[in-house]
Amino acid sequence: MNWRKEDINTVLERDPATTCKWEVVLCHNGYKALRMYRRAHALWEKGHRFRARLMSYRCVRKTGVDIHPAAKLGRRVFIDHGVGVVIGETAVVGDDVLIYQGVTLGGTGKDVGKRHPTVEDRVLLSSGCKVLGPVTIGHDSKIGAGSVVIKDVPEHSTVVGVPGRVVKTKDVKVTDIDQVHVPDPVLDILKDLSERTCRLEVEVKKQKDKE
């Protein structure tokens, strides 16, 4: 499989700020991190653990992206900007996943064995979100910016908040790169309470006027 060509085409298709192949190769941190990860992962699979870890360390210094060489990343993964991205040893990332800067796929420090997340196909991980522990993010889901996910997320879901809450399920598909227009359940509740308070105040005033 020509990983290099596919990774370049993925950046060109999904990043409107990138205009040509050479810009991807020379200037795109996410692409560079993926290329170094794929080489390090191949070394890891062949048992060259020290060399793999050394390459991973060089990747962090060069790109700001920390991907453990034992992690399993699928095809057409797109890391936008990349700085601050951390992907742990037992993490599994599916195909067509979009990862923004500051994303962490980490452990909780308590688990053994499989202790990092599994992210299924076509998931959007927005800026600064943290997915912790051996949880599963169902395919075609969207994790909002700054969210902290510590429980499994069903497929076709949108998650926001700290801790992360599922605010949409089954009625949304991740077909864009929109991190902004996600529901805010807390704001919705506050609006509802404000409207109810206004209605009660009107009713109280009417009762007082009758007296």
* Residues 63 and 112 grouped into a single domain: yes
Max CA distance (Å), the chain:
87
DSSP letter for 153, please: B
- Give the C-alpha distances (Å, rounded to integers) separating 197 from 34, 63, 161, 193, 209: 53, 52, 25, 6, 18
> In this structure, are 28 and 86 located in the same domain?
yes
Q: What angle do CA 137, 143, 145 make, to 5 degrees?
A: 150
Q: Are residues 186 and 106 in the same domain?
A: no
Range of the domain at 206: 181-211
Report the CATH number that the domain containing residue 109 is assigned in CATH. Answer: 2.160.10.10
Beta bridge partners, 87, equal 67, 105
Collapse the DSSP code of 113 into the 3-class scheme (helix H, G, I; strand E, B; otherwise coil) and give the result. coil
Tally of structural domains, the chain: 2
Average pLDDT, the chain: 85
75 and 134, same domain (yes or no): yes
pTM to 2 decimal places: 0.77
pLDDT along the chain (211 residues), means of 10: 78 84 88 93 94 94 93 92 91 93 87 88 92 92 89 88 76 52 62 80 78 67
